[in-house]
Amino acid sequence: MSQSHDHGKEVAHGASHDSGAPADHAQHDMHLGLYWGIGGVLVVFTAITVWLSYVDFDKMFAGHGWNIIIGMIVATFKVCLVGAIFMHLKGEKPLVWKFLYFTLFFVAGLFFLTLLHYVDPIFGTTHAHH
């Protein structure tokens, strides 16, 4: 929303095509409420995260590590809100998104490929608990 000009594709770069005039007032006024609202949602979800961590999901679902999975889902949701609204990723330029795709792909590689050591150990000496 900071740069809402719709540039044509075939434009040469120029040093001073933007006058730097204040952007649309109404648009920003509208967002102020949104920002507070998102802040409120984040606070509420912080409380929910805390509450969820005291619920024994492992017993409920007869499994293992459910609390971690659920906690991470909530955290990821919060992070998405921060990214989308506060960091303006919603409607951000495709270039920024491209950086993020790459980065997230590599970070996922880092997370999961290192864990292969626990999935397929040759000596059976590593403990894969929690």
Partner 1 sequence: MQIPHEVTARPDTGLYNAKLGIWLFLASEVMLFGGLFSAYIFLRMGAEDGYWPHGLLNVPVGAANTVVLILSSVTVVLAWASLKMRKFSQYKLWMGISILCGALFLIVKLAYEWPQKFEHFGAFIKKDAIAKYEPYLDNEGMKRKKLAPRVEVSGHLHEVTMTYDPKVWEGIVKEQETNLQQIDDRLKSGKESKSVTSELERDRKRIAAKLKEMPSVKLENFLPKHDLEIAKEGGHGGAAHHDPSVQTIHSTKMHGSERAGVTPATAEKLEKLPGLKLVTFELGLDPINADPTNPESDKPHFWYKGSTKTHGTIQRQDVESWSAFAPKHSPYFAVYFTITGLHGLHVLAGVLIMLYFWLPVEGGANMFKRNPEHLANRVEVVGLFWHFVDLVWIFVFPIFYLL
Partner 2 sequence: MSTAALTHAHDAHAHDDHHYDPGFWRKWVFSTDHKMIGIQYGVTGLAFLMFGFMLMMVMRWQLAHPGEAVPYIGGLLQTLFGSSAFQSDAKGIPGVLTADGYNSFGAMHGTIMVFFGIVPVAFAAFGNFVVPLQIGAIDMTFPRINMASFWCFFISCLFMLVSFVVPGGAAKSGWTSYPPLSGIADLGPLNHVFMNGQTLWVTGMVFNITASLLGSVNFIATIIQLRAPGMTWMRLPFFVWAQFVTAFLLLLAFPPLEAAGVMQLMDRAFDTSFFMPTGLIVNGATTQWSGGGSPILWQHLFWFLAHPEVYVLILPGIGMVAEIIANNTRKPLYGYKAMVGAIFVLGFLSFVVWAHHMYMTGMGAKVSAFFQVTTVMISVPSVILVTALMLSLWGGSIRFTMPMLFATAFLPMFGIGGLTGIPLAFNAVDLYLHDTYYVIGHFHYVVAPGTIFAIFAGVYYWYPKATGRMLNEFLGRMHFWGSLIFINGIFFPMFLQGMAGVHRRWYDGGAAYEQIIKPVIHWNNFMSVSAFLLGLAQIPFIINFCWSIWYGRKASDNPWDSTTVEWDTPTPPPHGNFTKEITVYRGPYEYSVPGADKDFTPQTEAPKADKPHSPTPPAAAPAH
Residues engaged in binding partner 2 (CB under 8 A): 9-15, 94-95, 98, 102-103, 106, 109-110, 113-114, 116-117, 119-123, 125
Range 47-56, long-range pairs (CB < 8 A, 24+ positions): 48/74, 49/74, 49/75, 49/78
- Report residue 33 CA to chain centroid gap: 21
For the CB of residue 61, give the shortest distance to partner 1 in the complex, in Å.
16
Q: Which is nearer to partner 2, 21 or 95 (CB)?
A: 95
The footprint of partner 1 on residues 11-40 (CB under 8 A) is 11-18, 20, 22-23, 25, 28-29, 31-32, 35-36, 38-39
Report the partner that residue 72 touches, choosing among partner 1, partner 2, none (CB closer than 5 to 8 A by kind).
partner 1
Report the partner that residue 120 touches, choosing among partner 2, partner 1, none (CB closer than 5 to 8 A by kind).
partner 2
For the CB of residue 122, give the shortest distance to partner 1 in the complex, in Å.
15
Tokens 């270039």 found at:
95
The DSSP line for 50-113 is: HHHHTS-HHHHHTSSSHHHHHHHHHHHHHHHHIIIIIT--TT--HHHHHHHHHHHHHHHHHHHH
